[in-house]
Amino acid sequence: MSKKPISSDSCLNMTLDSVRESLIGQEDTIIFCLIERAKYPINSPLYDESVAGVPGSLVEYIVKETEALQAKVGRYESPEENPFFPENLPPLIVPPHNIPQVLHPSGISININKTIWDTYFNQLLPLFVREGNDGNYVPTATCDLHCLQALSRRIHYGKFVAEIKFMDAPEDYSPAIRAQDRATLMSLLTFEKVEEMVKQRVEKKTMVFGQEVSLNDPDDKKGKYKVDPSMVSRLYGEWVMPLTKLVQVEYLLRRLD
Which residues of this chain interact with ligand PRE, rule CB under 6 A?
A: 20, 23, 161, 189-191, 194-195, 198, 241, 244-245
Query: Residue 245 Cβ, how far from ligand PRE at the closest point, in Å?
Result: 5
The crossing angle, in degrees rounded to 10, of helices 158-168 and 170-178 is 110
157 versus 225: smaller Cβ distance to ligand PRE = 157
85 versus 239: smaller Cβ distance to ligand PRE = 239
Query: Residue 233 Cβ, how far from ligand PRE at the closest point, in Å?
Result: 12
64 versus 154: smaller Cβ distance to ligand PRE = 154
147 versus 249: smaller Cβ distance to ligand PRE = 249
DSSP string, 112-181: -HHHHHHHIIIIIHHHHS-S---S-HHHHHHHHHHHHHHHHHHHHTHHHHHHHHHHH-HHHHHHHHHTT-
Query: Residue 236 Cβ, how far from ligand PRE at the closest point, in Å?
Result: 8
Query: Residue 164 Cβ, how far from ligand PRE at the closest point, in Å?
Result: 9
Whether residue 149 contacts residue 224, with contact meaning beta carbons closer than 8 Å, is answered with no
Closest residue to ligand PRE using C-beta atoms: 244
Query: Residue 189 Cβ, how far from ligand PRE at the closest point, in Å?
Result: 6
74 versus 229: smaller Cβ distance to ligand PRE = 229
64 versus 156: smaller Cβ distance to ligand PRE = 156
Q: How far apart are the first and last CA of the chain?
A: 46
For the stretch 52-69, what's the b/e string if a residue is b when 16 or more beta carbons lie within 10 angstroms of its beta carbon?
Answer: eeeeebbbbbbbbebbee
| Partners of 31 in beta bridges | none
Query: Residue 100 Cβ, how far from ligand PRE at the closest point, in Å?
Result: 22
Nearest to 163 by CA among 257, 252, 254, 256: 252
| Partners of 225 in beta bridges | 211
